[in-house]
Amino acid sequence: MTQDGHTKKTLGLLGLGAFGRLMLKHLAPHFDIRAFDPSPEAVAFGQDHGVTMVSCEEVAKAEIVVLGPPVPRMGEAVASIRDHLVPGTLVLDVGSVKYNIANLLVQELPDHVDVVCTHPLFGPQSGKDGIAGLKIAVCPVRGEDRAQKVIAFLRDVLDLNVIVTTPENHDREMAAVMGLTHMVAKVLLEMEPLPTDLTTKSYERLMEAVDILRYDSMELFLAIEHDNPFSTEVRKTFFAKADALRQFLEDHDYKKE
């Protein structure tokens, strides 16, 4: 029971990876959570933290279902739950791309469920000291009233900075925001070891950003670059500008004059 005497809603969590575990920490006080993740590590984590580990079919029967698999496996996850969802279920995802995922959910999930796409603009590293004030993108897809309730919960209960947008606009902006930062971070990580003593403030801030992304998986990086339909153009522009800058330096090398 909650403090106001109402029974907690059931929330089914499909996927208990690093971000799933962060969600669990903040959602457990508000919902009766049941989770599915076949990995032994995830099962052990769930059991150690009092999570009811159930089958995929049982997760789908919860009042709210949160899809947390890696983006490339979203189609498989949707197929595993769609025939077990009951009328009135609210389905959310937390992936880093939205346009294709929103289309997938609309096309593959039954009409009797509501759909809201979300993207927490933080991860286990940036949210390790708390998530209050951090940003989350919310894309209402099917069921406006339910979407408004999700927005209110995220804003008023979890104290998140909610940004309401469309799946297309989300991906257009993330193609630059996530695409560029992850590419730069990958390059700098490959250049390590880098200086740690004689540093400037701007360099230190750059390396702070790299450290936030240090442990993000290559699977996430590839999803950002390949599953976002707008990333290709941003990537082409970035490398073209980098090549142009390299050519500028070669053309203005006074030592060759």
Place of tokens 């995830």: 42
Q: DSSP character for 160?
A: -
What is residue 257's predicted lDDT score, i.e. its pLDDT? 62
Q: Helix 167-190 and helix 231-251: axis angle, to 10°?
A: 40
User: What is the average per-residue pLDDT within 219-228?
Assistant: 94
Domain boundaries, the chain: 9-165, 170-250
Residues in the chain, total: 257
- Identify the three-state secondary structure at position 129: coil
Number of continuous H segments (helices) and E segments (strands) in the chain = 10, 8
User: What is the average per-residue pLDDT within 43-51?
Assistant: 89
Architecture field, domain 9-165: 3-Layer(aba) Sandwich (3.40)
What is residue 150's predicted lDDT score, i.e. its pLDDT? 98
Q: What are phi and psi of 59, to 5 degrees?
A: -60, -40
Q: Rounded to two decimals, what is the model's pTM? A: 0.91
pLDDT(3) > 50? no
